[in-house]
């Protein structure tokens, strides 16, 4: 009986010792994890968090970038939300997002569904390579090339004249009505390859037996696409829409090279307007407020897309 009591007491004393040992190991693991994460966090803070905080600070000031700052509170944000030109610039970004998103996603879906059965063959490989080429071309080069094609004597107008539609020929990038759609086509061409690759990769993850079972039940290609392909590509579609929307709202390169924001401000987007306000008009505070507003706008657009396309288990 005495031995049994000693064993119980010894076990009771060993439990706190094991607990202290486990706590010590846990602390060392946490410290090691923090040390490994520290370099990445320092870089993130230096290049993201600190500039973001500085932009918020500048957005509350009236400053020309050189002289003395003057605190104006939320006045710069009020200007962003009430100035007609800035509101048109923001609207241009949303119109551009429609072009950047609808064309690449719809065409990418069509191409991915069409080559689904030939993904491993030479036809599928050649198709993916051709479609992905615009993605590896610098945006500046793409903007210059398409500027030549949309010119009065460019390939687009030559093709229209060649098929008897000379009345439709125009300087597309200088037209107040068609300049923004023309820029949208350039962006859609650039993003088409990326969307197609994402969707093709997603199709390879869909179980082929689902298509075989659907055929045995008498389903046609359209039924397979609606009831198998589309639901199976939910996550990939979310990624495509997210990437294209961000590319449109944050666009700068293509617009700057192709049109410079013209004619007038018909193709001016927030990224280009931020550059102009800060470096041409010396309105750093207003430029910072527009930049912060653009960041919030991107989050407001992207987060619901991520939530809607999330696969719920």
Phi first, then psi: give them for residue 309, nearest 5 degrees. -95, 5
Four-CA torsion 253, 257, 259, 264, nearest 10 degrees: 70
For the stretch 1-16, pLDDT in tens is: 545 555 444 544 555 5
Q: Which residue has the tokens 């759609």?
A: 181
- Give the integer Cα–Cα distance in Å for 288 and 60: 9
Phi first, then psi: give them for residue 71, nearest 5 degrees. -70, 130
Quick one: CATH architecture of 76-308?
Orthogonal Bundle (1.10)
- Do the beta carbons of residue 219 and residue 193 sit within 8 Å? no
- Give the integer Cα–Cα distance in Å for 271 and 261: 10
Report CA torsion sign: 83, 85, 90, 94: positive
Task: Give the residue-averaged pLDDT of 14-30.
Answer: 63
Q: pTM of the prediction?
A: 0.83
- Give the integer Cα–Cα distance in Å for 29 and 41: 18
pLDDT at 224 over 90: no
Question: Where do runs of H (alpha helix) occur along the chain?
Answer: 2-44, 50-59, 75-82, 84-114, 122-136, 139-149, 155-162, 179-204, 208-216, 221-224, 230-232, 234-249, 253-258, 270-275, 284-308
305 pLDDT band, cuts 50/70/90, is confident
For the stretch 283-299, pLDDT in tens is: 999 999 999 999 999 99
Phi first, then psi: give them for residue 234, nearest 5 degrees. -60, -50
Q: Please give the structure tokens belonging to residue 281.
A: 């008009």
């Amino acid at each position: 009986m005495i031995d049994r009591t000693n064993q119980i007491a010894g076990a009771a004393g060993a439990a706190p010792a094991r607990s202290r040992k486990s706590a010590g190991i846990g602390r060392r693991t946490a410290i090691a994890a923090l040390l490994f994460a520290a370099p990445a966090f320092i870089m993130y803070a230096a290049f993201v968090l600190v500039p973001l905080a500085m932009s918020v600070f500048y957005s509350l000031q009236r400053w020309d970038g050189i002289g003395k700052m003057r605190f104006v509170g939320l006045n710069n944000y009020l200007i962003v939300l009430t100035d007609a030109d800035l509101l048109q610039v923001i609207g241009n970004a949303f119109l551009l997002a429609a072009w950047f998103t609808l064309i690449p996603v719809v065409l990418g879906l069509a191409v991915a569904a069409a080559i689904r059965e030939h993904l491993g063959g030479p036809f599928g490989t050649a198709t993916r390579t051709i479609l992905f080429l615009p993605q590896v071309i610098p945006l500046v080069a793409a903007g210059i090339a398409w500027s030549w094609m949309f010119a009065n004597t460019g390939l687009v107008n030559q093709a229209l004249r060649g098929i008897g539609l000379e009345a439709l020929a125009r300087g597309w990038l200088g037209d107040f009505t068609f300049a923004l759609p023309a820029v949208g086509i350039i962006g859609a061409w650039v993003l088409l390859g990326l969307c197609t690759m994402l969707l093709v990769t997603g199709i390879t993850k869909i179980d082929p037996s689902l298509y075989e079972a659907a055929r045995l039940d008498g389903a046609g290609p359209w039924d397979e696409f609606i009831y198998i392909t589309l639901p199976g590509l939910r996550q990939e579609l979310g990624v495509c829409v997210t990437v294209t929307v961000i590319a449109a709202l944050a666009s700068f390169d293509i617009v700057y090279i192709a049109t410079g924001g013209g004619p007038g401000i018909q193709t001016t987007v927030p990224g280009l307007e931020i550059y102009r306000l800060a470096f041409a008009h010396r309105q750093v505070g207003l430029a910072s407020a527009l930049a912060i507003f653009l960041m919030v706008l991107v989050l407001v657009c992207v987060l619901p897309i991520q939530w809607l396309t999330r696969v719920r288990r």
